[in-house]
Structure 1
Amino acid sequence: MTKKDSAAAGRPGVVEAQAGERLWRLSRPADLESLWAAMGEGDLGLDERLPYWVELWPASVLLARFIAANAAVFSGRFCLDAGCGLGLSSLAAAAAGARVLGFDYEPEALAYARRNAAENMRPGEGKPLFAVMDWRRPAVPRGRADLVLGADILYERRFFEPVADFLDFALAPGGRALIADPERGVSAPAAGRLRERGWRVRVAHTGRVAQGGQDMTVNLLEIARGDSSPL
């Protein structure tokens, strides 16, 4: 099943997710089904930019829950949140004490991510920063990130190589990526491709998540070089 096939129609205007003791309430313009119905062929562009970012996918919720349960792993680290969408992973990492830059190539997504940071972060918590960026053309210093976060970013095979290239570019020595990926056939070969490029890939956590009308098993992949110790 592809991400397009499993598009969720949540409640327009706001979506909610529980991660640890925190209920995150995230603003959005509408649900995916409504935006999709309003789009014309000319709205897609060469990259078929469907507005997936308006939904909270089960993978995003599992990643946020993992962050909330393992705050010490993130505290004080510099994290890049790839394809951040509405910003849930970025907010959870910032709440855990990380310094976070969330990026997406959709400016509208980032407008809502900033709004969600303003509405959800508590006094004394650092707020994540957000920037328009395409992982194929990274605009961050090489080897800067302690952690790269991603939720459901391997839903098409054409993304495997760009994501692997981005990890090569962005991660600091000893750094690692944490990518939450639902169990679906299209993304299954990604782990093998990463191993071929010298990465160690293991499933750090697995959970069943019901969110936005979906109920999915999600694996959290920890991706690191062979000389890095596991989390």
Structure 2
Amino acid sequence: MPETAAKAPQTAPCQPDYTRGERQCLHVEELGRTWKLHRTADMETLWENLGREEFGEDERMPYWAELWPASMLLCRWLGRNRELVRGKACLDIGCGLGLTGIVGAWLGARVVGMDHQWPAVYFSRENARLNGVDGPLWTRMDWCAPAFKPRAFDVMWGGDIVYETRFYHPLTRLFRDHLAPGGRIWLAEPRRSVSRPVWERLAGDGFAVRKLLTEPVPVEGYEVTVNLWELSLPE
């Protein structure tokens, strides 16, 4: 398992404790079973209750509290390609409520799930136990300052993480520094015209970029069309 130099996660003093209170339980039907995910509230509710000081200097929204369609498509892809992750060191970037990391571990991958926000790590760990899955290793870590060994991961994945320009350079550094030779990166995101330049930019910066599939994902009575992309680096 890749090593991490991260300290034990703690709730930041200026942030409310999202881990307390009654649980909402989400149910996700994927890969022939029902996955249960706990949280205390959805992102919109948590956001409405944030004060200016609690919002933080870097404007960290409680994105972790949502179950994103991109993550559900990633789960399907992992299930269809379990032989590519079984026994491999894998990194779940921005683990949120932990769904894709839990599914990856259930399929036999050696998963590290990382998120910048402590409640994501807390609920991911709780949700792994709730679903009877051993692991992954959950760590609070900022992708702007990752503490992994170089070339530590055979596979990386993330659901809807390339949504702001300011994340481009930190994420590409993470990819270059910590992807093992011959490794793969899977990124899922809702189909958006504004995201198209990102994939062209990645190709221009030396990544091999390939769209793997596009599928509709049902979400609360409607469907979201999600793209899945694969990145790799020349050996």
Query: How far 1:212 sits from its partner (Å)?
Result: 4.5
C-alpha distance in 2 between matches for 1:191 and 1:42: 35
Alignment of 1:1-231 (within 5 A): 13-122=24-133, 126-212=134-220, 215-226=223-234
The residue matched to 1:205 in structure 2 has which SS?
Answer: strand
The residue matched to 1:67 in structure 2 has which SS?
Answer: helix
In the other structure, the counterpart of 1:4 is none
C-alpha distance in 2 between matches for 1:214 and 1:169: 39
Query: How far 1:214 sits from its partner (Å)?
Result: 5.4
Deviation readout 1:63-92 (Å, 9 max, x if unpaired) = 011111221111011001000011011011
Query: How far 1:211 sits from its partner (Å)?
Result: 2.0
**Structure 1 unmatched ranges of 5 or more:** 1-11
Query: What percent of counterpart residues are identical?
Result: 42
Regions of 4+ moved over 4 Å: none
1:31–1:55 CA contact under 8 A, matched in 2: yes
Query: How far 1:213 sits from its partner (Å)?
Result: 5.8
Query: How far 1:37 sits from its partner (Å)?
Result: 1.1
Q: In structure 1, give the amino acid aligned to 2:26.
A: V
C-alpha distance in 1 between matches for 2:187 and 2:57: 25
C-alpha distance in 1 between matches for 2:162 and 2:220: 19
C-alpha distance in 1 between matches for 2:145 and 2:221: 34
Question: Normalising by structure 2, what TM-score?
Answer: 0.86
Query: How far 1:167 sits from its partner (Å)?
Result: 0.3
1:61–1:209 CA contact under 8 A, matched in 2: yes
Question: Normalising by structure 1, what TM-score?
Answer: 0.88
Query: How far 1:121 sits from its partner (Å)?
Result: 2.6
- The alignment of Structure 1 onto Structure 2 pairs a total of residues equal to 213
1:200–1:225 CA contact under 8 A, matched in 2: yes
1:157–1:186 CA contact under 8 A, matched in 2: no
C-alpha distance in 2 between matches for 1:205 and 1:192: 17
**Structure 2 unmatched ranges of 5 or more:** 1-22
C-alpha distance in 2 between matches for 1:90 and 1:121: 13
